[in-house]
Structure 1
Amino acid sequence: MRLGFIGAGNMAQAMIGGILAKEIVKKEDIIASAATQNTIDKVAKEFGINVTLDNREVAKADIVFLAVKPFYYEEVIDGIKDVVDEKQLIISVAAGKSVEWVENAFGGKKKIVRIMPNTPALVGEAVTAICPNANITDGEKQEIVELIASFGLAQIVSEKIMDAVIAVSGSSPAYVFMFIEAMADAAVAEGMPRVQAYQFAAQSVLGSAKMVLETGKHPGELKDMVCSPSGTTIEAVKVLEEKGFRSSIIEAMSACADKSRNM
């Protein structure tokens, strides 16, 4: 199985790194293209995969990931659609581009899958939504899920919730990184060394997330377990509520989903 990545930016690199880490595909069976020599040189050095400036060369792979920005999709697809056949799997990695849009852009009966991963793919902890079109067989669906699951959780979802997926997982690492950074800044203000502050904040987020996933308890119940009467935690929670912590997250995610719908 040969994989091709048209576009070799952060998201593509995260997926390539995750796939190689699990040894699902050998590095010599992956090829990536980019718009600049600097980018492909960087990717070749970091991952040891094949690289090219020619998208059409990548489009010959068994599975082709379209990992460019949404506003480049029309141009990129127009440049490769005559070399893509009905046996290949085309995987779209773009907000705002529906399965139907990609199908129409290729202008023929193609096997199209829309996915929305996130950058934790680089450390094998992504979450990826998968939307296959009607031309994908059950066997191919399983193959795709297994490939994507090599770098994290992978689930087939209805495309109608893809905007919610983008808000809750595709974009959310940025929110989490901001949260970690803010906690570390506060710890530094209290006298903790910067490097140690990042470690304590990041590990606390990691451990808390694992508790949600592994205990099956409601996040509110887990929060209550930390909040002792008249304690330090409930005092912090009170301030977060006063400052609109939860409502700001909800509003930010709503804005993210709206942006995705209107791209």
Structure 2
Amino acid sequence: MKQSILVIGCGNMGSALVRGLCLDKWQTKYDICLYDMVLLKAESLAHELGLSSIADLKEVQSEPYLIFLVVKPNQVKSVCQRIFHFKNSIIISLAAGVNQAQLHEYLGQSQPIVRMMPNLAVEVGEGVVALHFNSQVCEGDREDLLFLFSSLGWVFEAEEKDFDQITALSGSGPGFIAVFLEAMMDAGVSIGLPWEKSLKLVIQTMLGTASWLKKKNCHPGLLKNMVCSPGGTTIAGIKRFELAGFRGIVMDGIETARKQTKNNKTEE
């Protein structure tokens, strides 16, 4: 009999996570069941991927091997109260700003808990996935989970104290990059290119740049210097960015995102 996985929350992140797991055919090893407060979300995703869904958490008959909490931070406590009786399930929380101490308060000190911070790119197997295991997760389960999540992209273990920074940089990162990408696309339109061609040019440029940096494993400043010829077009554009405070704006945005994790208060 296959072990089961329960995913609570089928919004953008929950859907990306499930699609990423199914991309590597994990649904053939595990029975994956979906639940969302908006029933249609769970039903639609289950229909798309050939999974099962439930309308109420009371319908869960046997204790799942894994329970993913992919809900807003202020919903975590109420959800934990509804799964409190699953004492042997490994609870995997994706809720930003909700630490393990809070999860233990809601679920009990003996509960196996994993904090997970992925980003939306897990849907295509190119995500960043930070994990922190508590001491109740045995070594065998830890190894199994590291292998399971390896299909989602780059997976690594992190200290819990670093999760707010990771959330701001890689969790929020796709949104920041999308804004810059859109701005470049709009610039292409402004100088006379159709938006479809502009978008393709920008996406491929970003993919190529990221691949080059990953392969060479070097500081991005080196690539910048290689592209910037004396008195050329690139350095002229970069000068305009610098005059507008581009780097400071980016750094301030990421710092603001980090601070926001502190404001994601859970229910009392």
**C-alpha distance after superposition, 1:106-147 (max 9, x if no partner):** 124110000000001111110011011111122222111111
For the Cα contact (< 8 Å) 2:149–2:155, is it kept in 1? yes
For residue 30 of structure 1, give the secondary structure of its aligned residue in structure 2.
strand
1:80 equivalent to 2:83? Answer: yes
Q: Which residue of the partner structure matches residue 66 of structure 1? A: 69
Structure 2 alignment gaps of length 5 or more:
none
Alignment of 1:38-117 (within 5 A): 38-57=40-59, 60-82=63-85, 84-86=86-88, 88-117=89-118
For the Cα contact (< 8 Å) 1:2–1:30, is it kept in 2? yes
For the Cα contact (< 8 Å) 2:96–2:261, is it kept in 1? yes
Per-residue deviation at 1:213? 1.2
Per-residue deviation at 1:28? 7.0
For residue 25 of structure 1, give the secondary structure of its aligned residue in structure 2.
helix
Q: Which amino acid aligns with 2:75?
A: Y
Paired with 1:246 and 1:89, the residues of 2 have a C-alpha distance of 41
The farther-off stretch of 221-230 and 41-50 is 41-50
Paired with 2:73 and 2:58, the residues of 1 have a C-alpha distance of 18
Paired with 1:185 and 1:253, the residues of 2 have a C-alpha distance of 23
For residue 113 of structure 2, give the secondary structure of its aligned residue in structure 1.
strand
Paired with 1:63 and 1:204, the residues of 2 have a C-alpha distance of 39
Alignment of 1:245-260 (within 5 A): 245-260=246-261
1:10 equivalent to 2:12? Answer: yes
Paired with 1:55 and 1:184, the residues of 2 have a C-alpha distance of 44
For the Cα contact (< 8 Å) 1:70–1:97, is it kept in 2? yes
The farther-off stretch of 250-259 and 204-213 is 204-213
Paired with 2:29 and 2:179, the residues of 1 have a C-alpha distance of 33
Structure 1 alignment gaps of length 5 or more:
none
Q: CA RMSD in A?
A: 1.5
Count of residue pairs the alignment pairs up: 261
**C-alpha distance after superposition, 1:52-74 (max 9, x if no partner):** 12224458321110111111111
Paired with 1:18 and 1:221, the residues of 2 have a C-alpha distance of 33
Q: Which residue of the partner structure matches residue 191 of structure 1? A: 192
For residue 5 of structure 1, give the secondary structure of its aligned residue in structure 2.
strand
Paired with 2:91 and 2:39, the residues of 1 have a C-alpha distance of 24
Q: Which amino acid aligns with 2:80?
A: I
For residue 97 of structure 2, give the secondary structure of its aligned residue in structure 1.
coil
For the Cα contact (< 8 Å) 1:27–1:48, is it kept in 2? no
Structure with the bigger RCO (C-alpha within 8 Å, sep 6+) is 2
TM-score by length of 1: 0.95
Identity of aligned residues (%): 33
CA gap of 1:168–1:115, structure 2 versus 1, over 3 A, is same
